[in-house]
Amino acid sequence: MAYELEVKDLHASIDGKQILKGVNFKVKEGEIHAIMGPNGSGKSTLAYAIMGHPRYKIDSGNIVLNGESMVGLSADKRARKGLFLAFQYPITVSGVNLTSFLRSSYDAIRSPDGAPGKGGVPFVQFKRILDQKLDLLQIDPSFAGRYLNEGFSGGEKKKCEILQMAMLQPRIAVLDETDTGLDIDALKVVAEGVNKLAGPDLGVAIITHYQRILRYISPQFVHVMFDGKIAHSGGKELAEQLEEKGYGWLRAGA
């Protein structure tokens, strides 16, 4: 069965402030969606709510993966069920090197109950897969020995998020502004990386402000968020129109 994530009339708040005001959204394996919208419209909030960030409270509505509600499940459980989020602002974890971090998450995601040591593969095999993915994303192998995101440039952090996606092989991934901060060459590498990973076994929702990345990663669907709701949906041409005309013409009719 193809994986399907459905967000149904989702209302969510943070620190008592309502941010999401009835989001409806569906993504299936094999599909690429782009989510656009002005700053503060709730795009990252939607991403966090899907992944189960504990600070975001679901007030009503539902997040359903393959018929099963995700509401109330911790982020690691959602990850084991096939969801993934690439952060807009990846955090630095000093003292944890990238290889051990990836090894622990690779192990945990394969473990039926998330307990360490149950889902692992021998280190040599893990290392072979890691090297392949580093190569795919053109990340210098020396990064594998560095602390997670410590001293990484903005673009390097974004690449590292996609490296995590490549390693964890989710079925539905939300990429929150993965293109922001990437130089032109890095943008191409990341977009090609996402394209190689995308396919029948992966559904992607890419949150972006720019049509630039959509030249490389071709979405079938483009959605625009305003004030906590998806106010418009269309095809790829919608992103081109937004680039040209801004949001004003849509907002007028929202």
Ligand X SMILES: Nc1ncnc2c1ncn2[C@@H]1O[C@H](COP(=O)(O)OP(=O)(O)OP(=O)(O)O)[C@@H](O)[C@H]1O
Interaction site with Mg ion (CB under 5 A): 43-44, 88
Contact predicate 190/158, CB 8 Å: yes
CB of 205 to ligand X, least distance (A): 13
Coil/strand/helix, residue 199: strand
Residue 90 near which of Mg ion, ligand X, none (CB within 5-8 Å, type-dependent): none
User: How many residues lie near ligand X (CB under 6 A)?
Assistant: 13
CB of 15 to ligand X, least distance (A): 4
Coil/strand/helix, residue 250: helix
- Token readout for 23 is 């989001």
Residue 142 near which of ligand X, Mg ion, none (CB within 5-8 Å, type-dependent): none
Vertex 160 angle, CA 159 and 164, to 5°: 120
CA distance 183 to 154: 10
Which residue(s) pair with 6 in the sheet? 26, 64
**From residue 81 to residue 120, what is the string marking binding to ligand X with x (rule CB under 6 A)?**
-------x--------------------------------
* Residues within window 23-82 making contact with ligand X, judged by CB under 6 A: 37, 39-45
* Closer residue to ligand X in complex, CB, 139/206: 206
**What is the 3-state composition of the chain as percent helix, strand, coil, each rounded to the nearest 5?**
40, 30, 35
* Closer residue to Mg ion in complex, CB, 43/158: 43
Binding site for ligand X (CB under 6 A): 14-15, 17, 19, 37, 39-45, 88
